[in-house]
Amino acid sequence: MTVRFQEMPAQQQKEIRMYGCTVEQMREAVEESLTYRFSGPVMYAMSMLSDAQEMVAHDMDGQVGLMLIEDQRQLLNRAKWIMSTYCMNRE
């Protein structure tokens, strides 16, 4: 079932603006990932950071669109969430 953004609870709207998906969706994606299963959460987060780095590298001519900037911001937020949820809580 698809729920329209405006009909979602405020917390889910905040998560989607911050991460591009809900925390529940992100947790499911992380825990089903082969990278997470075989290499752990740090490697999964590092992979996301590398993806964000590549996005920046492809904009070396300064013609980046606002959507790409938003994608980069959300990707960095997802990587930080993974590290704080799966790495920092275990220390």
The residues spanned by each domain of the chain are 15-54+63-90
Amino acid 49 reads L
Return the number of other C-beta atoms located less than 10 Å from residue 83's C-beta. Answer: 18
Angle of CA points 8, 14, 16, to nearest 5°: 75
Tens digit of each residue's pLDDT (9 = 90 or more) over 44-68: 999 999 998 888 777 656 666 777 8
Return the number of other C-beta atoms located less than 10 Å from residue 15's C-beta. Answer: 20
Angle of CA points 43, 58, 25, to nearest 5°: 45
Q: Is the pTM of this model over 0.85?
A: no
Amino acid 82 reads I
What pLDDT shows up at residue 86?
92
